[in-house]
Amino acid sequence: MKFGSSLSAELQEKYKKRAVRPREGDSVKIVRGEFKGIEGKVTKVLPREGMLNVEGVTREKQKGGTSPVPIHSSNVVVTAVLLDDKTRKNKLEEMA
């Protein structure tokens, strides 16, 4: 299964790529669904399901407390990329 998210217009221009695999620490903006418009950092990536958890996106539980809501990776736009990994940095900057 493919797993990726679109890059923002500025990042598409900078890296000459349309999409990237989201990672923990990347900043994203939700562009579809119930939580549309919320921006935050990726806190957890669930690649088998094609989902990710975003900081601040939670749902109230019936017994009290909150739980993170998984968002499909195609419903977010990556606004800032974490480049602490050499392999990822090289892969993004090889085309630019």
- Cα separation, 74 vs 3, in Å, equals 8
Question: How many structural domains are present in the chain?
Answer: 1
72 is in which domain, residue-wise? 5-93
Would you give per-residue pLDDT tens digits along the chain (96 residues)?
578 999 999 999 999 999 999 999 999 999 999 999 999 999 999 999 999 999 999 999 999 999 999 999 999 999 999 999 899 999 888 866
Sorted by sequence, the CB contacts under 8 Å of residue 89 that are 6+ apart come out as 83
Alpha-carbon span 20 to 88, nearest angstrom: 10
Answer for the pair 7, 13: CB distance below 8 angstroms, yes or no: no
pTM over 0.75: yes
